[in-house]
Amino acid sequence: MTDEYDVVVVGSGGGALTGAFLAQKAGLATVVVEKTALLGGTSAYSGGACWLPGSAVQQRAGIPDSTESAREYLGAILVDPDATAVEAFLTHAPELVAELEADEAIDFEWLPFPEYYDAPGRVPLGRSIQPANVKRGDLPERVGRLVRPPVERDRAGEGGRNTLSGGQALIARLLDGFLRDGGTVLTELPVTGLVLDGDRVAGVAGMTPEGPKEIRARRGVLVAAGGFEGNADLRAEHGVPGDVAWTMAPSGTNTGEPIRAGAAIGAATDYRGVGWFCPGLAQPDGGGSFTLGFRSGLMVDQRGRRYGNEARPYDQFGRLMAEAPERIPSWYVFDSREGGRLPAIAMPEGDPAEHLAAGTWVRADTLPELAAAIGVPAEDLVATVERFNGFCASGVDEDFGRGDDEYDTFFAGGEGPNKALTPVTQPPYYAARFVLSDLGTKGGLVTDERGRVLREDGHPVPGLYAAGNSAASVFGSVYPGPGAPLGSAMVFASLAVRDLGAAGS
Ligand SMILES: Cc1cc2nc3c(=O)[nH]c(=O)nc-3n(C[C@H](O)[C@H](O)[C@H](O)COP(=O)(O)OP(=O)(O)OC[C@H]3O[C@@H](n4cnc5c(N)ncnc54)[C@H](O)[C@@H]3O)c2cc1C
């Protein structure tokens, strides 16, 4: 079985569908090849924040954002970046937003959400944008049916909501435009290898229920099929902390075969040993839930001690967790001021009663009893909480500076002298188990400023492009701000299709 298109896009996240949408719109016959029955991968679970600096969207909202300030910000935080690729990102981000918004299917708006580093060029309240919500009833039935539901519903085996927001809206809008323009979607077709014509990538090999299938690409192949977060062997081989069970990627999705297929034909890889990390609320079924925005309470390790500012950006807290074995699992200690709910945003939180029944949460009338229930030394836990409560009273976290940065107070609603510091004083007390989760790995195929996959010698592999978590991130090991995964995926997918012949479109 062989099909032929101009462009073959592997995967269906934000990068993949941006590339597919733009290629098809430019008149290139394009196919999206997706492993699972649903489109959108982790991108559909996401908040849909896109770190795309300097666009008309921020200007419309009156945000003091610009390409120059984004350049300054990245210049201050990135470690040994590929300057050409960073510049391509900065230059193309506003062009991409303009190109997308020129289509009636796509609309963005500014999203207040602080950036992750206090560095020159940072924009107060952030410069991320997100797609506007879209109603299921306003979409073609096929689009609504194909978009992967939000994480809490997908994990529970339920369908999506009537209003698609965040990543759901991004995937739905791109897919709507792609199908409208005659694009092709093939689902339940895992790509297992790349097809070569001499040294040129001329298609992909996949597996259908009926047997192997080859899909040929007259112009080229864009691999945007997530990272390898779902592959235990690759994680271990490349030293990515965390666990397949705790990653946020939808079950059965991102196991890295397309990255390996690239490597098998001589592409350079840079696995980085890192992901887009986050604290993960342990779930009764063994999974983890991306958690951010802690309002009250404190995180302790297995010795009953704090080890960082719990309110700092989630990727940075995840990295702290990875630094010492006694931090995984950790326990989040909180009191009853929110009626027995976790004082944070956990996606999904789960049912407190089920957590208590499963032991992923414990509850006790006193802190020593809580300590006994989670197996940490009682005197250490009590001393830690007393010290923390003292910081809440004074308004100064002398140990970790919680509340010093605008990010720390963005989600917090405390009423004391420091909004981010609320004491743990109202029994019964709770402890919730936390593991190290991730939103995907960020190493993969090495690409250049045009999204072209490179060989070890620095020359491009003809016909092969990569974006999103299938590619080694342009931001290296740094997570600059909300929307960095999607923003970078979308920009390099777009640059790839330009190179493929959609140039000037
Ligand atoms: C709750 C949550 C909120 C988040 N919020 C944001 C946010 O607001 N902004 C942001 O930038 N990031 C956010 N992230 C992170 C972001 O969603 C991901 O890192 C990013 O979307 C990954 O994009 P991707 O295209 O690389 O992979 P994915 O979106 O996971 O897409 C990969 C797709 O490829 C398919 N695939 C895999 N292997 C194959 C194969 N062999 N053949 C064919 N198809 C294959 C998968 O099935 C999947 O559908 C969030 C993550 C979570 C979980």
* Ligand 1 atom closest to Cα of residue 250: 30
Alpha carbon of 316 to ligand 1 centroid (Å): 20
Rounded distance, CA 258 to CA 453, Å? 12
- How much is the CA Rg of the chain, to the nearest whole Å? 23
* Whether the CB of 483 sits within 6 Å of ligand 1: yes
Atom of ligand 1 nearest to the CA of 11: 34
Report pLDDT for 272: 86
- Ligand 1: atom nearest CA of 347 is 1
- Give first-to-last CA distance, the chain, whole Å: 32
* Closest among 225, 237, 327, 245 to 13, alpha carbons compared: 225
pLDDT of residue 38: 98
Q: Which ligand 1 atom sits nearest the alpha carbon of residue 470?
A: 26
- Is the CB of residue 134 below 6 angstroms from any atom belonging to ligand 1? no
For residue 271, the model assigns a pLDDT of 87
Angle at 198 between CA 257 and CA 450, to 5 degrees: 60
Specify the pLDDT at position 502: 67
Name the phi and psi angles at 28, rounded to 5: -90, 130
- Residue 154 Cα to ligand 1 midpoint, Å, equals 14
Q: What is the predicted pLDDT for the residue at 413? A: 85
CATH 3.40.630.30, domain 2-46+139-272+442-502, yes or no: no
Q: Is the CB of 225 under 6 A from ligand 1?
A: yes
Q: How far is the CA of 356 from the centre of ligand 1 (A)?
A: 31
Question: Pocket of ligand 1, candidates 439, 441, 469: which has the most ligand atoms within 8 Å of its Cβ, to mutate?
Answer: 439
With a 6 A CB cut-off, is 276 part of the ligand 1 pocket? yes
Q: Is the CB of 281 under 6 A from ligand 1?
A: no
Distance from residue 473's CA to the centre of ligand 1 (Å): 14
Dihedral (CA of 363, 369, 375, 377) sign: positive
Could you give the count of Cα atoms lying within 13 Å of 117 in the half-sphere of its Cβ?
Answer: 16
Domain boundary assignment for the chain = 2-46+139-272+442-502, 281-436
Is residue 444 within 8 A of residue 450, CB to CB? The reply is no
Residue from 247, 181, 191, 239 nearest 215 by CA: 191
Kind of pairing, strands 184-186 and 30-33? Answer: parallel
* Residue 440 near ligand 1, beta carbon < 6 Å: yes
Distance 400 CA to ligand 1 centre (A): 32
Is residue 131 in contact with ligand 1, taking CB distance under 6 Å? no
Which residues on adjacent β-strands are paired with residue 485? none
Q: d(Cα 446, Cα 486) in Å, to the nearest integer? A: 18
16 in ligand 1 pocket by Cβ < 6 Å? yes
Sign of the Cα torsion 41, 204, 185, 182 reads positive
| pLDDT confidence of residue 89 | 98
What is the predicted pLDDT for the residue at 231? Answer: 98
Q: Which fold has domain 281-436?
A: Flavocytochrome C3; Chain A, domain 1 (3.90.700)
Residue 197 identity (one-letter amino acid): D
Q: How does pLDDT run along the chain (505 residues), one tens digit per residue?
A: 569 999 999 999 999 999 999 999 999 999 999 999 999 999 999 999 999 999 999 999 999 999 999 999 999 999 999 999 999 999 999 999 999 999 999 999 999 999 999 999 999 999 999 999 999 999 999 999 999 999 999 999 999 999 999 999 999 999 999 999 999 999 999 999 999 999 999 999 999 888 999 999 999 999 999 999 999 999 999 999 999 999 999 999 999 999 999 999 999 999 889 999 999 999 999 999 999 999 999 999 999 999 999 999 999 999 999 999 999 999 999 999 999 999 999 999 999 999 999 999 999 999 999 999 999 999 999 999 999 999 999 999 999 999 999 999 999 988 899 999 999 999 999 999 999 999 999 999 999 999 999 999 999 999 999 999 999 999 999 999 999 999 999 999 999 999 999 644 3
The per-residue pLDDT for 2 is: 65
DSSP string spanning 174-217? HHHHHHHTT-EEE-S--EEEEEEETTEEEEEEEEETTEEEEEEE
User: Quick check: CB of 228 below 6 Å from ligand 1?
Assistant: no
CA of 468 to the centre of ligand 1 (A): 8
